[in-house]
Amino acid sequence: MEIKRADFVTSLPAYRDFPGRGLPQIAIVGKSNVGKSSLINRLTRRNKLARTSATPGKTRLINVFLINEQFHLIDLPGYGFAKVDKQEKARWGKMMQDYFEASDELLHVFCLVDIRHDPTADDIQMNTFLRQMGIPFTVIATKCDKISRGARQKQLAPICRALLVQPWQIICFSSEDGTGRDQLLEEIDKVLTPEEEPEDIQDASDLSDEPETVQ
Ligand SMILES: Nc1nc2c(ncn2[C@@H]2O[C@H](COP(=O)(O)OP(=O)(O)OP(=O)(O)O)[C@@H](O)[C@H]2O)c(=O)[nH]1
Ligand SMILES: [Mg+2]
């Protein structure tokens, strides 16, 4: 897919209805500072679309972006930010839970982890949560410009072990040099294109729909 248009829609302190809601959604989750907002900017080629910061905990709101007037990208607030107190953590937890429970339009989640570090307990908890909820996800290893090409495969091993995925299922990404952008766009295409039903299943359902003939 090609991104022709990207618009900021709204920032929500708690998930609720917003103008234009109803289109498919893809959400982005990950530790604070992992590069969620930077990924949105690189993906859309709009440097200032999502606010980024070297200070972790920049995005404390649910930010909604409209892409190609076709789907919503949801930038969720990062977790694991050391400096927040218990109250703030509880608020974050409720915000996320409310989002995942209410977002009927959610098709897929991009789970971001820093390629240089082992996933944290929070990353594993998020992964378990998505599996339990039956929400499909793709793991994105961010900031891959920070390590050599040769070191990347090796770095993926602990991520695979912790998040129970295979190395080829992970997209290595860099907001700095654009590595993985095309692969991510392809993934979005796949997510947005519903798989065709295999023919034999189609036939069976056709049959069962047929009204009984009266002799
Ligand atoms: N070298 C490099 N730096 C990156 C990359 N992605 C993000 N950064 C830097 O990492 C910092 C955090 O990036 P953000 O995109 O703001 O991270 P975030 O996940 O949105 O953070 P929160 O909003 O706090 O949850 C910024 O200083 C970015 O410039 C990357 O791919 N490569
Ligand atoms: Mg952010």
% of the chain exceeding 70 in pLDDT:
87
Give the position of tokens 């982890």: 113
Cα(194) to centroid(ligand 1), Å = 31
In the chain, the amino acid numbered 146 is: K
Amino acid 83: pLDDT: 66
Average pLDDT for 83-89: 76
Amino acid 99: pLDDT: 94
Residue 199 corresponds to which tokens in the numbers above?
């023919």
pLDDT digits (tens, 9 = 90+) for 133-154: 999 999 999 999 999 999 999 9
Helices (H), the chain: 36-44, 86-102, 121-133, 149-163, 181-192, 199-209
Distance CA 93, CA 83 (A): 15
Distance CA 112, CA 108 (A): 13
Ligand 1 atom with the smallest distance to the CA of 77 is 25
- pLDDT value at 211 more than 80: no
> Bridge-partner residues for 141, per DSSP?
113, 172
Q: Is the CB of 207 under 6 A from ligand 1?
A: no
Ligand 1 atom with the smallest distance to the CA of 112 is 19
Amino acid 56: pLDDT: 64
pLDDT digits (tens, 9 = 90+) for 9-52: 999 988 999 999 999 999 999 999 999 999 999 999 998 998 88
Distance CA 45, CA 178 (A): 10
Residue 81 corresponds to which tokens in the numbers above?
């930010």
pLDDT digits (tens, 9 = 90+) for 98-122: 999 999 999 999 999 999 999 999 9
Amino acid 7: pLDDT: 96
Amino acid 201: pLDDT: 59
Q: Is the CB of 56 under 6 A from ligand 1?
A: yes
Amino acid 86: pLDDT: 79
Q: Considering every ligand atom, which ligand is closest to the CA of 35?
A: 1
- pLDDT value at 58 more than 70: no
Cβ count near 192 (within 10 Å): 17
Average pLDDT for 70-75: 97
Q: Is the CB of 44 under 6 A from ligand 1?
A: no
Q: Is the CB of 53 under 6 A from ligand 1?
A: yes
Lowest mean pLDDT among 78-87, 135-144, 167-176, 183-192: 78-87
Q: Is the CB of 57 under 6 A from ligand 1?
A: yes
Domains delineated in the chain? 6-206 (3.40.50.300)
Tell me the pLDDT of the chain averaged across its residues: 89
Burial 37-48 (b: 16+ CB within 10 A, else e): bbbbbbbbebee
Q: Which of 175, 177, 179, 157 is nearest to 166 (CA)?
A: 157
